[in-house]
Amino acid sequence: MRIVSLAGGIGGARFLRGLRAAAPDAEITVIGNTGDDITLYGLRVCPDLDTVMYTLGGGINEEQGWGRDKETHTVKEELAAYGVEPQWFGLGDRDFATHIVRTQMLDAGYPLSQVTEALCARWQPGVRLIPMSDDRTETHVVITDDRGRRAVHFQEWWVRLRASIPAEQIILVGADEARPAPGVLQAIAEADAVIMPPSNPVVSIGTILQIKGIREALEGKTVVGVSPIVGGAPVRGMADACLAAIGVETTAQAVLELYGSPLVNGWLVAEEDAGVSLDGVQVRGRPLIMHDVEAAAAIARAALGLAAELAGTEDAR
């Protein structure tokens, strides 16, 4: 069986660990969000790709949900001693090595998709991880602060400001020119099922869907999504601040409507959100908190079950 999944960082990665356990024989292709990517100290950092790679490869800091395990921060301290900015982004020493390798390969002319493949050769994530695009895109956020109305990099809004200043607009810079990375459209075309993990609907999934051709390719497939919103709040993080920026309520219903039909055919919500419905979409209530890998695997099994059911229905027509 061939499965395609779209993924941001923590929510995506934790779900994928469950999906891999639920479908050990499946060929899983993960299309990763690169809108969060940022250049720091001359190094190209791809937070979501790395979160997926470290989580599935067994190198993640479990408590934090991102970054390396057994991490130290000597380089960061030394940079701070030189007064080098920014000081609000916490890269650890082990993590730095990943960004050095990546930047070296990018500078040598390798596209990000090949760089990611090379990094994954070490981590063996058990899935094929492809960045959504080899073309550089970056999510920027329009805010008004004491310096006036201006756009800042998504990471500055998310990490430094902790989304405390309302986002007036969220823009994927470079989206118009970006093409899907090699293998992305083919993987979707060949997929038996597409599963959307409970990643951020705006700055993770929403970003991937902005890359030309991806949404259209998905519309022809059986797509089952998992709600990142449970009982009117994100399970983790500040997705509500992103949804507010695009005028969408923080509910499982509103996120389903945002994706809409025909993109999504099946939608898993938490049991407490059981009233959610949309024409053309099969909605199921399930426990959706990923306490551990087994809980994530149970959600993944439910998503795959629903996808199989929907594919069967389509065949019968």
Q: Which residues bind Ca ion (CB under 5 A)?
A: 8-9, 36, 48
Q: What is the 3-state secondary structure (H, E, C) of 151-164?
A: EEEHHHHHHHCCCC
3-state class of 269 per DSSP? strand
Residue closer to ligand GDP, measured from CB, 234 or 266: 234
Q: Could you say which of 98, 155, 199, 222 contacts ligand GDP (CB under 6 A)?
A: 199
One residue of 12, 18, 67, 92 binding ligand GDP per CB under 6 A: 12
Q: Report the residue from 59, 67, 125, 198 that binds ligand GDP according to the rule CB under 6 A.
A: 198
In this chain, which stretch among 97-105, 176-184, 213-221, 232-240 interacts with ligand GDP, using CB under 6 A?
Answer: 232-240
Q: Residue 10: which of Ca ion, ligand GDP, none does it interact with, CB under 5 to 8 A by kind?
A: ligand GDP
Of 181 and 239, nearer to ligand GDP (C-beta) is: 239
SS3 78: helix
Work out whether 204 is an interface residue with ligand GDP (CB under 6 A). Answer: yes
Positive or negative: CA dihedral 46, 122, 74, 102: negative
Q: How far is the CB of 76 from ligand GDP (least distance, A)?
A: 20
- Residue 289 partner contact from Ca ion, ligand GDP, none using kind-dependent CB cut-offs of 5 to 8 Å: ligand GDP
With residue 298 as reference, give the H or E element that holds it: helix 293-316
Transcribe 114-152 into DSSP letters: HHHHHHHHHH--SSEEEESBSS--EEEEEEEETTEEEEE
| Pairwise CA distance, residues 132 & 32, whole Å | 5
- What are the CA-CA distances from residue 72 to residues 62, 75, 84, 93, 248 (Å)? 15, 8, 18, 6, 39
Q: Does the footprint of ligand GDP cover residue 237 (CB under 6 A)? A: yes
C-alpha 231/C-alpha 272 separation (Å) is 6
The residue (of 10 and 45) whose beta carbon lies closer to ligand GDP is: 10
Interface mask (CB under 6 A) for ligand GDP, residues 30-69, using x and -? ------------------x--x------------------
Query: CB of 203: closest distance to ligand GDP in angstroms?
Result: 7
CB-closest chain residue to Ca ion: 9
Tokens matching residue 100: 């050095």
First to last CA, the chain: 22
Q: Examine residue 202 and tell whether it contacts ligand GDP (CB under 6 A).
A: no
Site track for ligand GDP across 141-180, x = CB under 6 A: ----------------------------------------
Of 154, 115, 214, nearest in space to 9 by CA: 154
- Which residues make up the interface to ligand GDP (CB under 6 A)? 7-12, 48, 51, 198-200, 204, 226-228, 230, 234-237, 239, 288-290
